[in-house]
Amino acid sequence: MEIIASVTGGKIRGVSEGGVSAFLGIPYAAAPVGPARFALPQPVQSWDGVRDALDFGPTCAQSFYPAPIHALIGSDGLPGDDYLNLNVWTPDTGGSGLPVMVWIHGGAFTRGSNARTMYDGRTFARDGVVVVSINYRLGISGFAGVPGAPLNRGLHDQVFALRWVRENIAAFGGDPDNVTIFGESAGGMSVVDLIAAPPARGLFRRAIVQSGNGSAVAEAADAVKVAEILAGTLGIEPTAAAFGELGPDRLRSAQDKVALELITNPDPNRWGPSIVGNGLGVLSFFPVIDGELIEDRPTDVLVSSGDRAVPLIIGWTAEEFRFFTFPTGLAAGIVAETLGPVLARYGVDSTVAEIYSANRPQATPADLFAAIITDLVFRDDSMRIAEANAAAGAPTHVYEFGWRSGIPDLGACHVLEIPFVFDKLSESHSLTGANPPQQLADEIHRCWVDFATHGDPGWARFDDRRQVRIFGHPESATVADPRADELRALRESVRR
């Protein structure tokens, strides 16, 4: 059954089926094309009549993932200009006061889309939550430090989308004062950035950070340096006007070339120390310290500014980095002789591996590398944020996703918790294997629904006992300060 709603810009037509109404591809800002690609988001152009919101909208220009990652999770990319769009799923367009969740997708700030079937909000709407999933500018369009253009355009898009939610969500039965933002990977990093960002205050009530951190930010001067290298690759002047004349295909090609060069030659003298260090030699275009949205490294902001604290779930998967090392073949090059030098590239002293090895007597050097870098990139920052958030008096809940994929060598890897959160196991067998436990999806999904509804996910708060919910199968458990010796050794080695 078709259903009509009124939003900023005009009327839209969605579809109601099985007790859930879906409105897809709704533009929340004007199409960012030409010079506008490198400007702040602008209000959407109004339309006459009723606009169809029946299909997913376009995405920002991006390339497919490399083959090993594409085989696990697929790739995204729908062409078109109106890629600043969002989707809404609601159980009751005529209702009011329903909790709202806003999903921010991941993809290393260069890939991703709100159109993935694994992000289908019907399962949350089925359980009484209005769900919004957003697109935002990625890569060069969203995060390149182009001289003459505002920084962090992709984050500005996210703030703009949250303002749209505040102004329009009541039309879908949602409560604008009960909004929970949640995201994974770059989406989780975005959530941390938004918690710390003054312009985003008041636009959400709670937050969920999945596999994120608050340290992946670049210095403005380094971001400009990358943009200048990019301009040289394109044969143009490094100005917003020159970049604005290029179409998405040329931007995408140049973006891929620069990303590959950075990975193969992570020279901080060429790219800038914050690009190589904070981006781990992998991220090429990502959020920048601009003094407005990002005042400093967000983790440091949250540690020093208790007024930014919000009710929070934050966590990681137990073996995040296996996703990046084993399918890609990088694990094969990490042996006893190379483990120390590889860890040194990440600023980790090789003696840390001794602690991890003692706790994992059967682990290979590649296993140890994945465990250590998982903690460096995801667990350490998440724990620091949780410590500060709890100290400020905000309800804080920490988790670790520990169930291991049925796909060989993946373990409890990056991305693996998403189909459980969305209760979409049928869409994820290339990542989970053929028989993921539905009981675990029921548990995690319910925790997220309960948190968005009334702020309590159902496990103990993070406090002086440092309790962490370990999600697993056949049983989950709440554990006090798991693997504390490893995290302590890592922190003493790196001393960020």
Active site (catalytic) residues: 185, 320, 414
β-pairing verdict for 130-134 and 174-184:
unpaired
User: Measured between alpha carbons, how far apart are the two ends of the chain, in Å?
Assistant: 55
Q: Which residues pair with 87 in a beta bridge?
A: 133
- Distance (Å, whole) CA 222 – CA 193: 19
Whether residue 452 contacts residue 426, with contact meaning beta carbons closer than 8 Å, is answered with: no
Q: Residue 447: which of 411, 416, 473, 423 has the closest Cα?
A: 423
β-pairing verdict for 396-401 and 467-471:
parallel
- Distance (Å, whole) CA 212 – CA 190: 8
Q: Residue 377: which of 324, 456, 304, 425 has the closest Cα?
A: 324
Q: How many CA atoms lie within 13 A of 79 on its CB side?
A: 4
Whether residue 154 contacts residue 142, with contact meaning beta carbons closer than 8 Å, is answered with: yes
Residue 137 is which amino acid?
A: R
**Ramachandran region, residue 44 (left: φ > 0; alpha: ψ -120 to 50; beta: rest):** beta
Name the residue with tokens 């390149």: 144
Q: Which residues pair with 180 in a beta bridge?
A: 101, 206
Q: What is the dihedral of CA 203, 209, 213, 219, to 10 degrees?
A: -20
**Which residues does 222 contact at the CB level (< 8 Å), separation at least 6?**
145, 271, 272, 273, 274, 275
The structure tokens listed for 390 are: 């709890």
- Distance (Å, whole) CA 437 – CA 420: 9
Name the residue with tokens 């604290």: 309
